[in-house]
Amino acid sequence: MGDIRSYRRTEAALWLPLVVAILGASWGCSSDSKGQPPAQRTVLVVAGQVSQKSVPLQLGAMGTVQAISTVSVKPLVGGEIVGVHFTEGQEVKAGDLLFTIDPRPYEATVRQAEANLAKDLGQVRQAEANLAKDFSQVKQVEANLERDSAQAKNARVQADRYKSLVERHLVAQEQYDQMRTNAESLEATLLADKAAIDNANATTRASREAVENAKSAVQADRAILDNTKLQLSYSSIRSPISGRTGSILVQRGNAVKANDTQVLTVINQMSPAYVVFSLPEKALPGVRKYMTAGQLKVEARSANGESEAEQGAVTFVDNAVDNTTGTIQLKGTFANTSKRLWPGQFVNTVLTLTTQPDAIVVPSKAVQAGQQGSYVFVIKQDSTVELRQITVDRIVGDDVIIAKGLNPGETVVLDGQLQLVPGVKVVVKKPPSGGNSGRKPA
């Protein structure tokens, strides 16, 4: 036991000078020759200002470009394709000739229809001439009837007068018999005239029916001629819209059928164009609210972000929410005069609902994420930093809209936050020439 105690005392005696020497060296390094405390550490940072400005209230979504009109060109008549008058991918206008189907059979049909029409027009003229002749005969017979009726009436009066004279023995019986016979003859002629009028009227009705039948035949001929001309026009296939053609799917020399399922080519109207996109259903009340105040603007940019944004307006909001995805579909119409939007292309869309005035904005580089939420380092007047918790409203591009925690004009750290703790003194380095304080230096 004595040996152990002696060993421990010896070991302590050996370590004590070494510990004292280390502590002395440490104290010597942490103080200057005059015994002053160590100098405060400074950190080089990039800073930016908290600003206040009007910012748009926007919603972003992925969209798909759709042609405003797509036409699948098909033949309406059958025959051999004898001409292709465009190249694949060509811009065409409405009415431009695309294909020609052999027109000769349809031209022959048109000539035949024209001949039938000419023949039936001649029959109409002949029937009308016959009707005019029969009508003239009716007029003549009516005139004869009127004349004979007057003569018969006069003869009957004379016969009655001579009868009275005979009974009074003032004239001879022969004179009375002559007057009576004349009256009876004229009455017979009057009956013949009435029969002639009935016959003339019947003939006139028949002629009138012949005219109507001939005119009906002419109408039918004209309808047939119009149809044959329409079929002939179908042999020249023209573009129904202005747009861009696709591949030529049927080449010259191929035979096609009327109303065949075979598509000759597809034309997409490129300008204007639709962009279809979906938003969460929770955004629907805001969309409806701001649409009542005016047309909502929407912009579309290619997914790779290389091209400029195209400007458009919302022209359609679907009438139902898709309950499988919880989204509502919208459609924007874009002039697309530069042809940047291509049917089937995926684009990034940004819908602007309204503009928020006097919003407090900081560059997104200033905002950090911590266990207690978002925060920034604020540079105080004495060049020390303060860690301040903030409430983020939303992010717009490279800016963050602050709902709570900052005031306009304050200075925040944009780069160098990893070296900071509250109270550390900082030195703000100048941005590169022509640069922006919100950007990291190169």
- Amino acid identity of residue 361, one-letter, is V
Q: Which residue has the higher pLDDT, 206 or 39?
A: 206
Question: Greater confidence, 33 or 139?
Answer: 139
Note the CATH architecture for domain 43-55+358-428.
Beta Barrel (2.40)
- Give the Å distances, CA to CA, from 224 to 160, 231, 402: 69, 10, 76
- What would the mean pLDDT of 329-356 be, rounded to a whole number? 92
User: Do the beta carbons of residue 318 and residue 341 sit within 8 Å?
Assistant: no
Q: 31-48, pLDDT tens digit by residue?
A: 444 444 445 678 999 999
Distance CA(246)–CA(244), nearest Å, equals 7
d(CA 144, CA 150): 10
The pLDDT of residue 261 is: 84
Higher pLDDT, 434 or 140: 140
CA distance 268 to 252: 22
State mean pLDDT over 192-206.
79
Q: Answer yes or no: is pLDDT of 19 > 50.
A: no
Mean pLDDT of all residues belonging to the chain:
84
pLDDT computed for residue 36 by the predictor: 45
Q: Which CATH architecture has domain 75-102+235-263?
A: Beta Barrel (2.40)
Rounded to whole angstroms, how far apart are CA atoms 139 and 133?
A: 10
Residues, the chain:
442
Lowest mean pLDDT among 91-105, 179-193, 214-228: 179-193
Per the omega criterion (within 30 degrees of 0), is the bond before 408 cis?
A: no
Fold entry, domain 105-234: Helix Hairpins (1.10.287)
Please name which of 433, 335, 428 lies closest in space to residue 46, comparing C-alpha atoms.
428
| Per-residue pLDDT at 142 exceeds 50 | yes
Type of residue numbered 431: P
Nearest to 182 by CA among 144, 154, 215: 154
User: 181 by DSSP, 3-state: which?
Assistant: helix
Classify 280 as helix, strand or coil.
strand
Rounded to an integer, what distance in angstroms lies between the CA atom of residue 191 and that of residue 196? Answer: 9
| 88-132 residue pLDDT tens | 999 999 999 999 999 999 999 999 999 999 998 998 888 888 878
pLDDT at residue number 2: 44
Give the pTM. 0.63
The arithmetic mean of pLDDT across residues 3-30, rounded, is 40
User: Domain coordinates of the chain in residue numbers?
Assistant: 43-55+358-428, 75-102+235-263, 105-234, 268-350
Whole-number pLDDT of residue 18: 40
Residues of the chain above pLDDT 90, percent = 53
Predicted confidence band of residue 432 (pLDDT cuts 50, 70, 90):
low
231 has a pLDDT exceeding 90 = yes
pLDDT digits 0-9 by tens, 388-415: 999 998 888 788 999 999 999 999 999 9
Residue 401 φ then ψ, to 5°? -90, 125
Where residue 394 falls (left for φ over 0; alpha for ψ -120 to 50; beta otherwise) is beta
pLDDT at residue 150, rounded to an integer: 79
Distance from first CA to last CA of the chain, Å, rounded? 71
Strand order in the sheet with 97-101: 236-238, 97-101, 79-84, 255-256
pLDDT of residue 16: 38
**Per-residue pLDDT at 298:** 95
Of residues 228 and 170, more confidence is placed in 228
Mean pLDDT of 274-288: 94
Collapse the DSSP code of 29 into the 3-class scheme (helix H, G, I; strand E, B; otherwise coil) and give the result.
helix
- pLDDT, mean of residues 3-25: 40
Give the fold, CATH level 3, of 268-350.
Answer: Elongation Factor Tu (Ef-tu); domain 3 (2.40.30)
Q: With contact defined as beta carbons under 8 Å apart, do 306 and 94 qualify?
A: no
